[in-house]
A = this chain, B = another copy of it.
Amino acid sequence: MTAPQRKGVISHRMSTKPDRFYWNKALMSSPGKMPQGPRMATLQVKTSRRTEWVKITSEVNRCVAASGVSSGICHLHVPHTTAGVTINEGDDPDVARDTEAAFDRMVPREAGYKHYEGNSDSHIKATLVGCSQSVWIEDGRLWLGRWQAVFFCEFDGPRNREVHVKIAPDPAE
Contact = CB atoms under 8 A, between A and B. Distances in A.
A106 B102 CA distance: 9
A79 B133 contact: no
Interface string A44-65: 0000000000000000000000
Copies of this chain in its oligomeric complex: 3
Nearest to A78: B145
Given A36-B171, A148-B79, A123 B98 contact: yes
A36 to B, nearest CB: 5
B144 A79 contact: yes
B116 A92 contact: yes
Interface stretch (A5-13, A25-33, A107-115): A107-115
- Chain A, interface residues (CB within 8 Å), range: 35 or more
Contacts of A172: 36-37
A98 B81 contact: no
Contacts of A75: 73, 134, 136
Which 10 residue pairs of A and B lie closest in terms of their CB atoms, listed nearest first? A79-B145, A37-B173, A81-B89, A98-B120, A94-B114, A94-B115, A35-B173, A98-B113, A86-B127, A102-B124
